[in-house]
Amino acid sequence: MSPEHRSPILRNALAIGAATGAYALSFGALSVAAGLSVPQTVALSLLMFTGGSQFALVLTLGAGGGWVPASGSAALLGFRNAFYGLRIAELLGRPRGWRRLLTAQFTIDETTAMALGQAEPAASRYAFWATGLSVYVLWGAGTLAGALGAQLLPDPRALGLDAAAPAAFLALLAPRLRGREPWLVAALAVAVALLLVPVVPAGVPVLVAGLVAVAVGLRGTP
């Protein structure tokens, strides 16, 4: 692959990394506000490394939910990466050994989108690794900066950072609500969650709402 093809891919990868790094600032602050230490917060970003799941975990803990519903919500959101992995494995030539572990760690929304957006296999592989490295480094750095900054504030939630994750989830969901069926599934999941809020621990309504959507999807699978 020529340098002319690499340059725009690298620029896009760095831009995506910078954007996710800025988003990680709010995660770091929210995680500390939810009761996790700075090392625990950074460990989540380095080991879990999937933003939606990380936000689900700390938001559930911050709302008073226990580790079981928090972990369940995080796992449910992260399960989509397993489906990404099937396609990424083909693009990268089914890596083995330590490369397979590293590929699994880097298989997230951003790397998958960049890899699938290329016209040639070589460009897909370059886009995957460039984006993965960029996001991993800057997401971790942003998490650390946000967590350290939160320690200097008496109440990090006073800045409105707790609204950042729900707003981001809505922004990701909105483009997918095309057609009658997605709206019906979303409405059903919301209704179930609202009914459960007064009677079950924090975090459980979100988990059950997600399972409702999964059940509907499986029902329509031949």
Between CA 113 and CA 84 the distance in angstroms is: 10
Close Cβ partners of 62 (under 8 Å, ≥ 6 residues apart): 30, 33, 34, 35, 162
Other beta carbons within 10 Å of 208: 19
pLDDT for residue 216 is more than 80: no
| Residue 222 clears pLDDT 60, i.e. is over it | no
pLDDT higher than threshold 80 for residue 34: yes
- Per 3-state DSSP, the chain is made up of helix, strand and coil in percentages (nearest 5) of 80, 0, 20
pTM above 0.85, yes or no: no
Nearest to 20 by CA among 48, 45, 47, 39: 45
Q: In the prediction, which pLDDT does 209 show?
A: 74
Alpha-carbon distance 117 to 97, whole Å? 26
pLDDT digits (tens, 9 = 90+) for 122-158: 899 999 999 999 999 999 999 999 999 888 876 666 6
Cβ neighbours for 77, distance < 8 A, ≥ 6 positions apart: 50, 52, 53, 56, 210
Q: How many helices (H) and strands (E) does the chain have?
A: 11, 0
Enter the tokens of residue 168.
């981001």
The pLDDT of residue 221? 45
The encoded tokens of residue 92 equal: 């990268």
Contact 128, 114 (CB under 8 A): yes
Nearest-Å Rg of the Cα atoms of the chain is 18
